[in-house]
A and B are shown apart, each in its own frame.
Chain A
């Protein structure tokens, strides 16, 4: 074992000791107290408060209300960071297309039959998570990630030429992602456009009526709470996530013949 490895190991052990020393004297805050911080008390109070609707988000789920209503701009820019990473992947592999007739058409017939039974169940479970994200734990990212796992199962068991034959090309997956992002933008400025046309004030990302604007999204649906803007955001985010992550995985699964056009094969230093 080299000298540099021993030096790195000793310095990591000293880092662990320093962090433990800080925790003993309360540097990261007390662990498991009896009272919550005032910000958390305020968010929990106003997440479903029909007596003070001017401050509230009208959704029984506190975490989804914080992610999409109280701190909605953070989530908007996080979605754009995911989009930038996918654009970077496309720029690395630019000029590559799926070539037909290269491989032996996927795995054996036992794997194909069992995937045909399991993949629709996973897709339905993911869609259900995205639909009731405002009533119980769930939401847009959770549903989109579940559905991405089902799509990669299909891509591996049936080979990516199957996607090409069913007209699900790389351009179309990118279009699905862009449709999801457009839906998010339209929903977030909908009340602002309505206020400009009909007179009065409104804000972007506005959910319920605020102090000096009386427009609001619907907050009940027949007999259960539909938390206005949160439901539409969950739907659009799940569509955007399934398009973007499937595109990323299919780009990484491209084969040698398709990549030779990009690299030019075997340049060593």
Chain B
């Protein structure tokens, strides 16, 4: 039988994985690069939640400053110095 309180971590990881698929598709087909960077940061946050629920706290502590902090920062610096709209 299914006891919801014991399976709550796995159900949360399932919902976060579905949100990450939507965020990836929106990031790839967007023409404004700044909003594409925002969607990529949203996908990284969902992945950090999945890593925590899969019992890997060392990975979360490396992944959060690298993928939600430094990589969107250097991407926005790159957009400022080159073009903002695609084609």
Interface residues of A (CB under 8 A from B): 63-64, 129, 137-139, 141-142, 145-146, 148-149, 152, 245, 249, 252-253
Q: Do A142 and B62 touch (CB < 8 A)?
A: yes
Contact of B73 among A137, A139, A249 (CB under 8 A): A249
A contact residues around B66 at 8 Å (CB): 145
Interface residues of B (CB under 8 A from A): 57-58, 61-62, 65-66, 69-70, 73-74, 77-78
Interface centre among B57, B65, B73 (most CB of A within 10 A): B65
Contact of B61 among A137, A149, A152, A245 (CB under 8 A): A137
A contact residues around B58 at 8 Å (CB): 63-64, 137-139, 142
A contact residues around B62 at 8 Å (CB): 141-142, 145
B contact residues around A145 at 8 Å (CB): 62, 65-66, 69-70
Cα distance A60–B57 in the bound complex, in angstroms: 15
B contact residues around A245 at 8 Å (CB): 70
Contact of B70 among A64, A138, A149, A253 (CB under 8 A): A149
CB of B43 to closest CB in A, whole Å: 17
Residue pairs across A and B with Cβ atoms less than 8 A apart, 20 shown, are: A63-B58, A137-B57, A137-B58, A138-B58, A138-B61, A139-B58, A142-B62, A142-B65, A145-B62, A145-B66, A145-B69, A145-B70, A148-B65, A149-B65, A149-B69, A149-B70, A152-B73, A252-B74, A252-B77, A252-B78
Cα distance A129–B62 in the bound complex, in angstroms: 11
A contact residues around B69 at 8 Å (CB): 145, 149
A contact residues around B57 at 8 Å (CB): 137
B contact residues around A253 at 8 Å (CB): 77
Interface centre among B61, B74, B78 (most CB of A within 10 A): B61
Of chain A, the residue at the smallest CB distance from B77 is A252
Cα distance A253–B77 in the bound complex, in angstroms: 7
CB of B13 to closest CB in A, whole Å: 12
Q: Do A146 and B74 touch (CB < 8 A)?
A: no
Q: Do A142 and B70 touch (CB < 8 A)?
A: no
A contact residues around B61 at 8 Å (CB): 129, 137-139, 142
A contact residues around B74 at 8 Å (CB): 249, 252
- Sort A-B residue pairs by CB-CB distance and give the 4 closest, nearest first: A145-B65, A137-B57, A142-B61, A149-B69
